Structure formats: C-alpha cells, structure tokens
Amino acid sequence: MQRVIFNQKGGVGKSSITCNLAAISAAQGYKTLVIDLDVQGNSSFYLGIDTYSPDNRSTLDGTIAGLLKQSTGRWLSQKKKSIDFVRETPFENLHVIPSSPGLDDIEKELENRYKIYKLRDALQELDEDFDRVYIDTPPNYNFYSKSALIGANHVVVPFDCDSFSKQALYNLIDNIVELQEDHNKELIIEGIVVNQYNSQARFPQELIKELREEEMPVLDSFLSSSVKMKESHHAQKPLVHFAPSHKLSRQFFELYCELEGLEVESESNSMKTKITA
Ligand SMILES: Nc1ncnc2c1ncn2[C@@H]1O[C@H](COP(=O)(O)OP(=O)(O)OP(=O)(O)O)[C@@H](O)[C@H]1O
Ligand SMILES: [Mg+2]
C-alpha cells in the first residue's frame, strides 16, 4: 500500500500529515516507509534525518535523489537495489528514504529523459519489504509529485480551509483524475483532509459544507490547529509520539483509522498504549 499526500499549495500540512500517519502505522506494528520527495526535506528532518548539514549536502547516497539518479547514464552500471537507499529512524518500524538538496539539480534531467515511471518501479520493488509506504510531495504539480501519483495506489489531499485553497482544489482534483485516467487506473482518491480546522469559526464550516454539496470527497476526520505541531517539528518527533494524549494526536488516530477502514474507538485505545510505551 502506497499513500501519497499531495496538494500543490504550500503549507497545508502535507509533511506533518505524512509523518504522523506513518508514525501511527509504524506504532501499530506495520513496517512503514516514508519517502520524502520534497527538496525542502521537512519530513526527513521531522523524522530525525539530516541530509542538509554542510557535510551531507552534496551526497546523493541514501537519498531519493540518489535512487532516481541511478536510472540515468553511467550510474546505471552501478545500480543498487531500492532497499539500499532506505534509512532507519529513531522510531521502531519507521524507515525513510530522505530528500536531499540534489533533488532540484536532477529534476530537469530526469524529466528530459522520461524517467517518470522510475519511482513506480522502485515502489514495486519495495512492496515486498514494507507494509505501508507514505510519500510526501513538494508544493508543486511537478515531475516528483506526478511520479508519486503515478506510482502510488492511494492519495490524500490536505486542505487548510482557505478560500484560495478551495479554488485551487477543483484544478487539483481535475489534475489527479486526468493522471489517474492516463497513467494509473489503480489510484484511489481517498479524499480531502481538513487541516487546522477551527470548530469555533463559522467560515470553515461554510467552506466544508460547500465542498460537500459539490460532492467533493471531504473526509470525516478533521485536524485542528495546535502550537504543539511546531514544537514536535522542533523536537524532530512526530506529534503522536511527542504528545500522544493531545487532542490533535487523537484526531490523527481517527484519520488513520478512517483511511484504513478501522473502528476508531478500539484502535485508538490500543494505539495510545503502544505510543506511550
Ligand atoms: N494542525 C496543525 N496545527 C498547527 N500548525 C500546523 C498544523 N498543520 C501544519 N501546521 C504548521 O503549518 C506549517 C506547514 O505545515 P507542513 O510543513 O506540514 O505543510 P506542507 O504542506 O508540507 O508545507 P510545504 O508545502 O511547504 O511542504 C508548519 O509550520 C506546521 O507546523
Ligand atoms: Mg512539506
């Protein structure tokens, strides 16, 4: 199972949602992999991997840039298995193929050489090693996010309850449907997850009502806003580990259960025991 978290709008919660859902999955006992396709490297950092320090900046080893680069030219002769690019994180069962600054440098080259299916090949190779793969994407409908949407079989779209975001959602869903039709008939659009929801304010409720009336697939689980999220980034610890009994962690469990088709109550209780342990 590969789930890509995508919205071309910046700052809507893609990296936060990717890492927290993946952390829950790992804590539930599933061997879980996060692939960080965003050159900003936020998911890699959040999960305790530093490919951006002056010492590491230029290396492609053990990064998604290295994995994709080896589909080109002379690199082909030294091709490694996809699993060789996977790194452990401090969290049990949770692994990552991190981003690196090199992703930007090789994007055009990969695009010009028609390497859009290479991530899909890697995901197929990794399928036997991991129960769940979560893919964080850049805030662009570019080569990397398209590669992820072509390679994965599930997609979740974070939405930040903003009017401009709502306008962009129509285009975004159209793009995904078109790509699904042309390249990936297996892709399931699981839905739109509302992030930074303020239940006290009328405006977000109205926006969500409008989306539902237009038959946009809004998920039932909402994520509220909390400063704990930023604190957990700083601590390089997914919120569900950093503050396991926080309301927002509970909402992440509910979202996880909704996506996995699980009963919320029993699963979130057992989750809590595992996470606090
Ligand atoms: N539920 C939340 N409560 C409070 N802050 C949040 C929440 N979700 C995300 N944020 C904050 O919003 C900012 C953007 O979040 P995040 O990096 O996860 O979004 P993104 O979509 O991955 O951004 P980008 O498009 O730049 O990759 C971060 O500072 C994060 O701490
Ligand atoms: Mg991000």
At residue 134, the pLDDT reads 98
Average pLDDT of the segment spanning 41-46 = 97
Kindly report which listed range (175-179, 217-221, 265-269) carries the lowest average pLDDT score: 265-269
Burial of 255 (0-12, 13-18, 19+ CB in 10 A): buried
Query: Tell me, what's the pLDDT at 266?
Result: 52
Query: Which ligand ends up closest to the CA of 223?
Result: 1
Atom of ligand 1 nearest to the CA of 195: 1
Distance CA 27, CA 92 (A): 7
Q: Which two tokens stand for residue 102?
A: 């090199």
Distance between CA atoms of residues 274 and 277, nearest Å: 5
Average predicted confidence (pLDDT) for the chain:
92
- Which pLDDT score, from 0 to 100, does residue 271 have? 55
Residue of 79, 98, 76, 77 lying closest to 87 (CA atoms) = 98
State yes or no: pLDDT of 273 exceeds 50: no
In short, whether 70's Cβ falls inside 6 Å of ligand 1 is no
Higher pLDDT, 164 or 193: 193
- Domain 2-271 is found in CATH 3.40.50.300: yes
The three-class DSSP label of residue 219 is coil
- Cα of 75 vs its chain's centroid, Å: 28
pLDDT tens readout for residues 50-100:
877 777 776 788 999 999 999 887 766 778 999 999 999 999 999 999 999
Share of the chain above pLDDT 90, in %: 84
Average pLDDT over residues 13-42: 98
DSSP lists the bridge partners of residue 156 as 5, 191
* Binding site membership of 198 for ligand 1 (Cβ less than 6 Å): no
Q: How far is the CA of 78 from the centre of ligand 2 (A)?
A: 31
- Does residue 212 have a pLDDT over 50? yes
Please tell me the least confidently modeled range out of 77-86, 192-201, 211-220.
Answer: 77-86
Is-contact 191 157, C-beta < 8 A? yes
Spans of all domains in the chain: 2-271
Nearest CA residue ID for atom 15, ligand 1: 13
Of the two residues 47 and 271, the one the predictor is more confident about is: 47
pTM above 0.85, yes or no: yes
Residue 274 has pLDDT above 70, yes or no: no
- Mean pLDDT along residues 117-134: 97
Measure the CA–CA gap between 76 and 74, rounded to whole angstroms. 5
Rounded to whole angstroms, how far apart are CA atoms 199 and 27? 29
Which residue from 103, 82, 105 is spatially nearest to 33, judged by alpha carbons? 82
Residue 75 backbone phi and psi in degrees, to 5: -65, -25
* Dist. CA 174 → ligand 2 center (Å): 22
Q: List residues bridging with 3 in a β-sheet.
A: 134, 154
Q: How far apart are CA 151 and CA 140, in angstroms?
A: 17
Q: How many residues does this entry show for the chain?
A: 277
The single-letter code of the amino acid at 277 is A
What is the pLDDT averaged over residues 29-40?
A: 98
For residue 17, which atom of ligand 1 is closest to its CA? Answer: 18
